[in-house]
Amino acid sequence: MSTISALIGYPVKHSVSNYLFSLLANYAGIDDYHHLKIATESREIKKKIDSLVNIECIGFNITMPYKLRVMDIVSEIDDSALNSGAINCIKIKNKKMIGYNTDGVAAWQAISRNLKKPKIGETVLIIGSGGTARSIIEKTLEFGLKTCVLYRNDDEALSLKSFFSNRSMFSIEKLNDKILFDKLNEIDFLINTTPVGMKPDIVNSLVSSEIWNKLSKKRNLQTLYVLDVILNPHKTKLLKDAERYGANTTSGLWMMIYQGLEAFKIWTEFDLLNSIDLMSVFKRLKNFAK
């Protein structure tokens, strides 16, 4: 019998998750494993999810823009999702759905393993206010880091502000170039959670070359650590510009690998984190996310 997992969202064409889960299944010795990428418009989401339950799919990941919406359709919510108010991973067990969130864990694994482990009291700037941002914010606050969010969407920001209003180390402001420059001048970590820079929009970045140039004359950018959650291309314009001016960067492709490992463990109970060659996995996936 086939083992099936899936990715639901819109768009999903850019994702390399099918290659990742094929590799993980191979490492785990699971034969006849299939990972489906299902582009789903808003009106179809319940129908598509019901079909996955009916074919005995073991679980699926949720990507933009549905990470908040699926909170209402699961039977049970794990603390990882409850504490962030968003779901990006669902396990199907006995026809019931259990919601999790692996974004925050994966983002900070990518940063801690590839760049630097955060220290209590350091400052993080998160650009974006959607479902991905929520889980990263929750984990960032859990680490005792000062967390500032710059938002573009007023409705998302209102919901986010309400959700984290009782957290003393959390602040949120509307994104503009002046505020962005001021924040970049004082932070330790920058995380972009918006889709700006994702294929096919690869020439754009919310941090302009002008800001980077100006910033390089005000602070030592070698003490700035940057994650872009975008995985395709694996090196976005934001990351290229940051590197050009001396900042340290890591790709959203790494975050996706750690997300995949967490999801695979949730679905199959195989914990492969310390038993596979992660660099080999990254290099293979990089060929599909240029």
What pLDDT score was predicted for residue 13?
87
Give the fold, CATH level 3, of 104-253: Rossmann fold (3.40.50)
Q: Are 257 and 19 in contact (CB under 8 A)?
A: no
Confidence (pTM): 0.94
Q: Please, where in the chain does CATH 3.40.50.720 lie? A: 104-253
Residues 82-101 pLDDT 10s: 999 999 999 999 999 999 99
What pLDDT score was predicted for residue 217?
97
Residues 221-257 pLDDT 10s: 999 999 999 999 999 999 999 999 999 999 999 999 9
Contact partners, residue 227, CB within 8 Å, separation at least 6: 107, 110, 111, 115, 189, 190, 191, 192, 249, 250, 251, 252, 255
CATH of 3-102+256-286 among 3.40.50.300, 3.30.1130.10, 3.40.50.10860, 3.90.950.20 = 3.40.50.10860
What pLDDT score was predicted for residue 48?
94
Instruction: For residue 269, count other CB atoms closer than 10 A to its CB.
Output: 8
Residue 183 a catalytic site member: no
Q: Does residue 149 sit in helix, strand or coil?
A: strand
Among 37, 47, 48, 67, the active-site one is: 67
Q: What is the mean pLDDT of the chain?
A: 95
Strand partners, 77: 99
Residues 116-154 pLDDT 10s: 999 999 999 999 999 999 999 999 999 999 999 999 999
What pLDDT score was predicted for residue 209?
96
How far is Cα 66 from Cα 86, in angstroms, rounded to an integer? Answer: 9
Q: Are 229 and 255 in contact (CB under 8 A)?
A: yes
What pLDDT score was predicted for residue 14?
84
Amino acid at 231: L
What pLDDT score was predicted for residue 212?
98
In the numeric block, the tokens 């819109």 are attached to 10
Which residue from 288, 281, 230 is spatially nearest to 24, judged by alpha carbons? 281
Residues 60-73 pLDDT 10s: 999 888 898 999 99
Q: Please, where in the chain does CATH 3.40.50.10860 lie? A: 3-102+256-286
What pLDDT score was predicted for residue 270?
97
